[in-house]
């Protein structure tokens, strides 16, 4: 379980068979599309939760960019432990969630993160209004451990 520092909610990750939701809980059913590095209990105690809606026509390119360009650069940061990408079925387009785990939140301001957001592929995708600024981002910390 990860919580926001502002006390305005959190995120619980669980397998569908073991997941129970309480009143007022928003449940999203997702499928894992990519996992690199240490994630889950093995990953760091800080989580950058990124929500990215992508048009159907760009699903393959977005996935390839994340796997081959963006994520390899992030994982060069010593405290960027891992990332899991999950996908939710939605009526129009594709809803991706990137669950980046780090052991030190300074990783979010690292040279590796800056480099990952300054590649030719990133800039090509950034020309679309659905890319980058439209993404939701939230930093959470693991409860306990």
Q: How far apart are the first and last CA of the chain?
A: 10
Residue 52 lies in a domain: yes
Q: What is the pLDDT of residues 24-45, one digit of tens each?
A: 544 556 678 889 999 888 889 9
**By the 8 A CB rule, do 84 and 32 touch?**
yes
Residue 87 lies in a domain: yes
User: What pLDDT score was predicted for residue 29?
Assistant: 65
Indicate the pLDDT class of residue 58, thresholds 50, 70 and 90: very high
Question: Which of 74, 66, 72 lies closest to 113, judged by CA?
Answer: 74
- Cα distances (Å, whole numbers) of residue 141 to 31, 50, 115, 121, 134: 23, 14, 24, 30, 23
Residue 23 lies in a domain: no
Q: What is the pLDDT of residues 72-129, one digit of tens each?
A: 999 999 999 999 998 888 888 899 999 999 999 999 999 999 999 999 999 999 999 9
Q: Strand 80-89's sheet: what is its strand order?
A: 10-11, 2-3, 136-142, 46-54, 94-102, 80-89, 30-37
- The boundaries of the domain holding residue 80 are 2-16+29-142
Helix (H, G, I), strand (E, B) or coil at 79: coil
Q: What is the pLDDT of residues 3-25, one digit of tens each?
A: 345 545 444 444 445 455 555 54
Domain with residue 64: its CATH number is 3.30.70.100
Residue 21 lies in a domain: no
Q: Parallel, antiparallel, or unpaired: how do β-strands 2-3 and 30-37 relate? A: unpaired
User: What pLDDT score was predicted for residue 26?
Assistant: 47
Location of structure tokens 């990750």: 13
Split into its structural domains, the chain has a count of 1
Q: Parallel, antiparallel, or unpaired: how do β-strands 2-3 and 80-89 relate? A: unpaired
């Amino acid at each position: 379980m990860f919580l926001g520092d502002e006390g305005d909610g959190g995120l619980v990750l669980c397998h569908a068979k073991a997941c129970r939701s309480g009143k007022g809980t928003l449940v999203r059913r997702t499928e894992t599309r990519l996992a690199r590095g240490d994630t889950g209990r093995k990953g760091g105690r800080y989580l950058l939760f990124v929500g990215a809606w992508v048009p159907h026509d760009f699903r393959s390119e977005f996935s390839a960019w994340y796997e081959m360009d963006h994520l390899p650069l992030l994982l060069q940061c010593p405290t960027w432990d891992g990332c899991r990408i999950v996908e939710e079925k939605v009526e129009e387009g594709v809803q991706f969630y990137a669950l980046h785990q780090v052991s030190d939140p300074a990783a979010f301001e690292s040279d590796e993160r800056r480099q990952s957001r300054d590649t030719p592929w990133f800039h090509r995708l950034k020309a679309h209004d659905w890319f980058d600024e439209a993404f939701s981002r939230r930093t959470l910390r693991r409860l306990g451990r």
